[in-house]
Every structure is written in C-alpha cells, then in structure tokens.
Amino acid sequence: MKIGFLEDLYLEQLQVLLDSKGQLISVLPRMLEDCTSQDLREALEEHLETAQEQAGRLERILAGTSKISSVARQKCIGMEGLIREARRIGKNMSPGLRDAAIIAAIQRIVHYEIAAYGTVRTYATLLNDAQCATLLEQTLEEEKDADRDLTEIAEQVNGDSPSLADLPRIGTAEGLEVKRVA
C-alpha cells in the first residue's frame, strides 16, 4: 500500500497495532504459566482479557473504514522483537527473578503500546474521527493503567528478589568490596 496521505498512515498503523495485539495475546498465556507471584498472575490475566477486548475494538475501527479492502495485513516487527525478548526469560531463574523479568518484558510491551496508541489517537483526532479517537483514547488509558499496576507489583517483586547486596561481605581489595558467591 502506498502511503501518500495521513489516512493511509493511520490505517497502516491500525493494522500494525492489530497484529501486535494478536502477538501479545498469543504470548501472555505462557507468561502466566511462568509467573509465581499471585498479584502478577492476576495482573496478567486482566491484561490478557483487556488485550482481547482491545483487539475487538481495533477490528471494529478497521471495519468502519472505507479503505480497509485496499490495506494489506501489516506485521508488527517491533512487537515481534519485544516478544522474542520476552520468550528468552528462562525457567532457570529463581521464581522472584523470573517474575521481575516478566514484569520488565511486559512493561516494555506496554510502553510500546502506549506510544503507538497515543499516535493513532492523535491521527484519528486530526482526521476528525471523534468516535475512533475516543475508542483509541480508552485503549491508551487502559495501557497506562496496566503500566501503573505493573510498577506497583514490580516494587514488591523486585524487593523480594535476591541481590548481591544480600550476600555477606568477606573483605575488600583495592577499594572494591568482595562478596562471597553462593
């Protein structure tokens, strides 16, 4: 599709967002299996439910556009990379560290989505599509809420994760502190 007008870019970005949402929906169940924090599990379950609603919202927005038949399905390469990173979270980590890594991965995804939804909401506003702008604003606010929730959970989970600072000190060498390795 040739992008010659803001409308074209808007439609392409909506398609990219729909693909990214589908990728997220496919990876969240695995992350749910891997997490041990009950708060994190509940947040991810809620995020999965919300993501499914958001995908439906995007499909409704796209279905309402007259040019949709000329728009080829777009792949979200950015989300692919973020999900590839998320899939690298290993089971060989302690449960607390794995939960911290899951939170970090999901927050990177959420921040990506916040930027993307803010952009398409602005496009909808500039194109005088108040109805779509409102739907996209709703999704943007849901993503911001998810980020705030994950930050609160991260403060607890990260505080419970093992740290080198927890190891006893055994001496110093040339101004560097040496700690015993467990």
Spans of all domains in the chain: 6-179
pLDDT tens-digit profile of 112-129? 999 999 999 999 999 999
Q: 88: helix, coil or strand?
A: coil
Phi, psi of 83 (to 5 degrees): -75, -35
The model carries a pTM of: 0.83
- Residues 58-111: tens digit of each pLDDT: 999 998 876 554 556 789 999 999 999 998 887 788 888 899 999 999 999 999
Helix (H) / strand (E) element for 73: namely none
Range name among 25-39, 86-100, 161-175 with the lowest pLDDT average: 161-175
Question: 6-179: CATH homologous superfamily?
Answer: Ferritin, core subunit, four-helix bundle (1.20.1260.10)
Phi-psi region of 128 (alpha: psi -120 to 50; beta: other; left: phi over 0): left
Count the neighbouring beta carbons within 10 Å of the beta carbon of residue 29: 12
